[in-house]
Amino acid sequence: MQTSRRHFIKTAGAGLAGIGLLPVLRPFQQLSGSLISTRFPRALPESLGISSEGILAFINAANASGISWHSFMLLRHGRVVAEGWWQPFAADYVHSLYSLSKSFTSTAIGMLVKEGKLDIHQKVISFFPKDLPEQPSANLQQMTVKHLLTMNTGHGTDTLPFLWQAKGPWTQAFLAQPVAFEPGTHFLYNTGATYMLGAILYAITGQTLQEYLAPRLFEPLGMTGYDWEKSPQGLNVAGYGLRVKTEDIAKLGQLYLQEGQWNGKELLTKSWVKEATGYQTSSQQGNGDWAQGYGYQFWQCRHGAFRGDGAYGQYCIVIPGKDVVLAVTSQTPDMQRSLDIMWEHLLPAIHDNPLPDNPSQQATLQKALERLVLPVVTGAKSVPLISRYQNKNWVPDNNDFNVTSMQFNFSDKGCTWTAKIATGVTTLRCGWEKWVMNKDRQLYSFPEAGNNHAPTQVAGTATWVNDHTLQLNLRFVETFHGDKIRCTFEGDKLSVTFLDSITEMNPTGTDKRKPLTAVMQG
């Protein structure tokens, strides 16, 4: 992906919710939902013309790729033919979507248009008379809702960092940015533009995106447990920050594959679906699947497909000619490579007609799906001095996390790290070279700025990489990030260092968190 898209991912890695600005953001708000989540029917791959052997080839290639795959779900004719989660990820957990959230925002705009409350040719400035600069430029005055949808606002750089840094309303900060090009003439991936779509919806309805979509999308499609990050002004951030389950991603794709129809009801007009998922503008030339064109917060793909996608590898892929939907969550710095693996192995597996039943391959595929697991670091499960560190009290120097004491408990099953901090006690359980899920959803106490600021289920593994170094490996399964914690014991001294999974993907990246240094007491 070229400059604008890479800029978003780079900025996201530095702190998607704002570099140093996290304290001003509104928290995620959980919608527990009384509605029971509905599920797609399941079918054997061959019955719908898909080869189990081809799906297995995809799984093998995914496992060999070095990419951190988290989940996938493959549908044909509205039925799931294969699905899998790499442990510790699981079907019941929500997952951060990053920019795949944009496609949900676009859906809300399509519904607003269907209700006759919005014309996408309306001028953006007409919705924010109190937030305008004193002398709006000619280009700003020409900007329409459609320009926001198609990333053709005319800005020369993504406006999102300026929104994060704003002391006032984000809408005001967006409108204050120079519009270097005539709107409609310059494609630039601009997450601030998506925020403005949510702000326009709020200006018209008085509802946030989450509130507006609840009865119109989330409830009809049986989505529950979702949440969406908010700006300091209380609006959903629109261009990122939504968390839903893998099957919910597939539901969005199926809705668009069905041209806006769901259970006999029209949620979106056929014309809107055609416009939103069709070619509206050129995109990033010479950039693989990102060079095929852009619609309304949806990308065109090769092979006659379209998709919504999010940073580091979140995908909702729809192939109308094959009547196929593919939902994927993952973490990778090379999103094109992920797509290449899907195209190379899954496309040839799809045939026009049902295939002969293949119980042997189906059984092999099922075993492979059941054995999906993220790799774990291996070393030793015990060291000669382990009893010396058992339940000892470690008192750190002054530190950025306000940790006042730490203890390690070792058992046959794993390691439990307990830290007392100013806000209470945090406990992390890690299995010996095996993923163990901590009992409660928690807000991670040791985040790098911008990452892991949402409450999440945490899974961990532990191993001794040498006689003096204990490594804890964490996965935040509802945000997708991870953390590598190294605890180095030297007599009565302890050093704890951190390496988050986003930084680890970047060969030149540096984790900015300072190590914890502590001494043993008692």
375-395 pLDDT, tens per residue?
Answer: 999 999 999 999 999 999 999
Lowest-confidence region among 18-32, 289-303, 413-427: 18-32
| pLDDT greater at residue 10 or residue 459 | 459
- According to CATH, the topology of domain 386-521 is Lipocalin (2.40.128)
Q: Which two tokens stand for residue 260?
A: 């806006």
Closest to 179 measured CA to CA, from 149, 159, 206 = 159
pLDDT of residue 5: 55
Give dist(CA 102, CA 104) in Å, integer. 5
Cβ count within 10 A of residue 286: 7
Kindly tell me if the per-residue pLDDT of 3 is higher than 70: no
- The residue-averaged pLDDT of 358-372 equals 98
Cα 238 to chain center, whole Å? 13
Question: Which residues, in sequence order, are CB contacts of 336 under 8 Å at separation 6+?
Answer: 1, 287, 288, 289, 290
Kindly tell me if the per-residue pLDDT of 283 is higher than 70: yes
Give dist(CA 272, CA 434) in Å, integer. 47
pLDDT of residue 453: 75
Give dist(CA 502, CA 181) in Å, integer. 33
Kindly tell me if the per-residue pLDDT of 368 is higher than 50: yes
Give dist(CA 56, CA 46) in Å, integer. 13
pLDDT tens profile 502-514: 999 988 889 999 9
pLDDT tens profile 475-500: 999 998 999 999 999 999 999 999 99
Residue 212's Cβ-count burial label (10 Å; 0-12, 13-18, 19+) is buried
Secondary structure (DSSP) of 213-235: HIIIIITTTT--S-EE-B-TTS-
pTM of the model: 0.93
Kindly tell me if the per-residue pLDDT of 20 is higher than 80: no
Kindly tell me if the per-residue pLDDT of 133 is higher than 60: yes
| pLDDT greater at residue 6 or residue 385 | 385
Cα-atom radius of gyration of the chain, to the nearest Å?
A: 24
Q: Which two tokens stand for residue 254?
A: 């199926």
* HEC sequence for 68-81: EEEEEEEEECCEEE
pLDDT tens profile 160-197: 999 999 999 999 999 999 999 999 999 999 999 999 99
Give dist(CA 27, CA 347) in Å, integer. 40
**Paired residues of 393 in beta bridges:** 521
Q: What percentage of residues in the chain have a pLDDT greater than 70? A: 92
- CATH for 3-44+94-311 is 3.40.710.10
Average pLDDT, the chain: 92
pLDDT tens profile 292-336: 999 999 999 999 999 999 999 999 999 999 999 999 999 999 999
Q: What percentage of residues in the chain have a pLDDT greater than 90? A: 89
| Domain extents in the chain | 3-44+94-311, 386-521
Interior angle at CA 272, CA 271 and CA 273, nearest 5: 95
Q: Which two tokens stand for residue 198?
A: 């949510």
pLDDT tens profile 68-91: 999 999 999 999 999 999 999 999
Beta strand residue intervals within 61-191, DSSP E: 68-76, 79-85, 95-96
pLDDT of residue 468: 97
Cβ–Cβ < 8 Å for 384, 404:
no
- The residue-averaged pLDDT of 425-438 equals 97
DSSP SS3 for 211: helix
